[in-house]
Copies of this chain bind each other. A is one copy, B any other.
Amino acid sequence: MSPNRPSTHPAQQGAPTQQGASPPQQRAPRGSARDKLIAAAHTTVRKQGYAATTVDQICAAAGVTKGAFFHHFASKEALAVAAAEAWTERARPMFEMPPHTRARDPLDRLIGHIDFRFAMLDGPVEEFTCFVGTMVQEAFATSEAIRAACEASIAAYCDALAPDIAAAMEVYGAPEGVTALGLARHIQAVLQGSFILAKTTNDPAIARESVTHLKRYVRMLFAPPGPA
């Protein structure tokens, strides 16, 4: 659950409000502040965590003022909830775009998805880790609204993954006690855990190692049980 691609709107401008030059420098188009604040929350919270991120920092990263912030969001917590919902949307293309989603065999689609997640584990840690996973760690006991929003986002991911797993189970069978949603949740757990390990070492390699184990597990689950 962590594509760095905010397919977001055409209007996009990372830089702070300063414009150097001559002609009729226009400011950012009206109506763009909300999206920019959410995007800024994603990047800032992924790097620093939720509590350590101040509203001023988010505003600065978004290139808007505090007035705009509290025009769009009633509180910092409200932004967090909105950002969690936006995160779910941002993850959706992962289940539609990549080539493996067109594979005929459901197990190929599932393994393809894991490979896809594996390939994301590269570059700076804060660019592939999960916004909602980071946030729920801090807020699960102190903000019921944030916790619920994060739960919904994770659940949406698992729900999106489950159909392919269910189909694979029908084709290849699976051991007693394995369910599609349960395995989807386990995949999510391994990803989240691999993010934490990557943070401890500040290096994605340790995360790839774990996802490799995950891939092997899925392969073994759906392998024909008997002799070769």
Taking beta carbons and an 8 Å cutoff, which residues of A are in contact with B? 47-52, 125-126, 132-134, 136-142, 147, 150-151, 154, 175, 177-178, 182-183, 185-186, 188-194, 196-197, 199-202, 206-207, 209-210, 212-214, 216-217, 220-221, 226-228
Contacts and interface: CB of A to CB of B under 8 A. Distances in A.
Interface centre among A49, A125, A154, A206 (most CB of B within 10 A): A49
Contacts of A209: 182, 185-186
Main secondary structure of the interface of A (DSSP, over half): helix
A193 B186 CA distance: 8
A222 to B, nearest CB: 12
Which 7 pairs from chain A and chain B are nearest by CB?
Answer: A193-B193, A49-B138, A189-B193, A51-B51, A51-B52, A140-B199, A192-B193
A89 to B, nearest CB: 18
Contacts of A202: 140-141, 147
A125 B227 CA distance: 43
Number of copies of this kind of chain in the complex: 2
Contacts of A206: 185
A196 B48 CA distance: 17
A147 B217 contact: no
A226 B223 CA distance: 12
A225 B151 CA distance: 39
Given A48-B138, A151-B201, A175-B216, A210 B185 contact: yes
A189 B210 contact: yes
A190 B195 CA distance: 11
Contact of A212 (B133, B177, B190): B177
A100 B213 CA distance: 25
